[in-house]
Copies of this chain bind each other. A is one copy, B any other.
Amino acid sequence: MNGAEALVATLAAGGIDTCFANPGTSEMHLVAALDRGNEIRCVLGLFEGVVTGMADGYARMTGRPAATLLHLGPGLGNGIANLHNARKARSPIVNVVGEHATFHRGFDAPLTSDIQGLARPVSHWVSTSQSAQTIGEDTAKAIAEARGYPGQISTLIVPADAAWGEGAAVAAVPPRRGPASPHTPALAEAAEILSGRVNVALMIGGSALSGPGLELAARIAAHTGARLLGPTSAARARVGVGLPVVERIPYPIALARQTLADVRHVVLVAVDEPVAFFAYPGQPSRPLPKNATVHQAVTAEEDALEGLQVLADLVEAKSTTLQLQTGMEASRPQGELDLAKLAELFAAGLPEDAILVDESITSSFVLLPRLKRAKPHDFLQLTGGAIGIGLPLATGAAVAAPGRKVFCLQADGSGMYTPQALWTQARERLDVVTVVLANCAYATLRGEFKSVGIDNPGANALTMLDLANPELQWADMARSMGVEARRVRTAEEFAAVFDAAKRQRGPFLIEAMI
């Protein structure tokens, strides 16, 4: 058995059933081994940012790591932005990065680079296999590290001669460990705050936003009178009518501070204290008031459900009536499409149990208040701020959840970072409906220009924020990669095309001119 075969067999033994790949010459033995094994589904991406974003989407929907297969330092480099997002989402991923043969590395061949150096900033664990003899154990370790709760990024670098070398063996992968139990004193303190103080907020994240913890958290909040808060962006949340209302902290720092102005105590469950996305002149980094105290009841690495159960018992919150999300009134907006009309139609039409990927950026300020009134769905957001995740994330989620329809709200500027994901959607016939929000601008930056205190940007600066010259033709671009697409300009057109897209199987893109 050669090293590549041992690696692939160990991946399979460790429960990895999917490999998102963009291989090159140095990974040819790995490709051959993946082919022989046949236990792992390979999904090709035409660009590594697509590959790593797909792996993130897969992990968010399954809770399990996929493997990626990347080509040396530059291939890893292309995947870094979405690995950064995955790291912030706490998604498990096992990266397998090909490297020159050990005897070749000293020659400074064209593709030689410091792969470990590139991997470290986006990985919890990095290692380079030294030979075929260690590759099985190295792979088992990579899987075990990726499974570190709630999820970590492992990067295993595989020299070509470790892959083609003989004498390798499959290694046993240690069984997955669950999360650690939360600390009793921290829970007791949190319960005391929740029960005994006013102006308390219970802020939840991680699995508490989508699992059974959500109802428990809502019950605790309703019983104690605490506000139930969630982070601005979350890897995955269960959202929609009939579900507990979780107030998300707004993105603009001024608005976040205003929203949190009355808070005196924050109890954190599986989430960190809120922090501003960016710094601004004269604004603090923490949106919480200076006199607020922070109580970490459950860390992100601990068991949120167990913690919430204990908290609910301690505050005796069992039978409270919950504040649940109300639905929306039927409306049929007409005429020229704008963001508000699109939001109404999209939210009203979103089918039950959809997977919804959101990279709508500025448009989210209008979209999100409507979306939470849609039918219950899984809502996946950009967690690390590195734009260009929407299309890959939706693609990976669709690979992970066959039989569930995936929707993607994609801003046009950020969509242009990784449009190649559409090709993979077409190739794999994935059931993804993408709505491109075509405002022809880096609209977020126009706002940010003001936020940093610049009121009168000049013509050249505005040009750097404008995507209208030339105007992107997203429907044409989608078709060029095999995805059926339509450009729509009116509410009626959007409604009709959206209905048709929902009814059919396979990828479809709607370019919504807003």
Contact = CB atoms under 8 A, between A and B. Distances in A.
Given A275-B107, A281-B164, A452 B74 contact: no
B419 A419 contact: yes
Contact of A476 (B23, B467, B471, B479): B479
Contacts of A118: 80, 118, 121
B84 A28 contact: no
Contact of A472 (B114, B460, B481): B481
Contacts of A384: 74, 110-111
Contact of A279 (B74, B103, B445): B103
Contacts of A420: 416, 419
Interface in A182-220: none
Given A160-B279, A281-B164, A385-B74, A84 B113 contact: yes
A81 B113 CA distance: 10
A452 to B, nearest CB: 5
A413 B64 CA distance: 30
Given A417-B78, A420-B416, A104 B477 contact: no
Contacts of A489: none
Interface string A50-75: 00000000000000000000001111
Contacts of A465: 31
A476 B419 CA distance: 14
A427 B416 CA distance: 15
A21 B416 contact: no
Contacts of A122: 77, 113
Interface string A447-484: 01101111001111101110101111111110111100
A46 B413 contact: yes
Contact of A32 (B34, B286, B449, B472): B449
B423 A470 contact: yes
A457 B23 CA distance: 14
A158 to B, nearest CB: 13
A80 B285 CA distance: 29
B25 A445 contact: yes
A277 B28 contact: no
A146 B88 CA distance: 33
Nearest to A276: B109
B28 A279 contact: no
A100 B279 CA distance: 7
Interface in A106-137: 107-111, 113-114, 117-118, 120-122
A318 interface: no
Residues of A in contact with B, size category: 35 or more
B110 A277 contact: yes
A306 interface: no
A113 B476 CA distance: 36
Interface stretch (A35-43, A254-262, A350-358, A494-502): A35-43
A278 interface: yes
A272 interface: yes
A103 B285 contact: yes
Given A88-B110, A277-B109, A449 B38 contact: no
Contacts of A224: none
A26 interface: yes
A24 interface: yes
Given A473-B479, A479-B473, A109 B285 contact: yes
A107 B385 contact: no
B461 A32 contact: yes
A249 interface: no
A208 to B, nearest CB: 19
Nearest to A116: B121
A413 B109 CA distance: 22
Interface string A419-454: 110010011000000000000000011001101111
A288 to B, nearest CB: 12
Listed from nearest, the 6 A-B pairs whose CB atoms lie closest are A470-B482, A77-B80, A74-B386, A101-B279, A104-B279, A35-B461
27 contacts: A25-B444, A28-B448, A29-B452, A32-B449, A32-B454, A35-B461, A38-B460, A72-B385, A74-B81, A74-B386, A77-B122, A78-B80, A104-B285, A109-B385, A110-B277, A113-B121, A114-B120, A416-B420, A419-B420, A470-B482, A473-B481, A475-B480, A476-B476, A476-B477, A476-B480, A477-B477, A480-B480
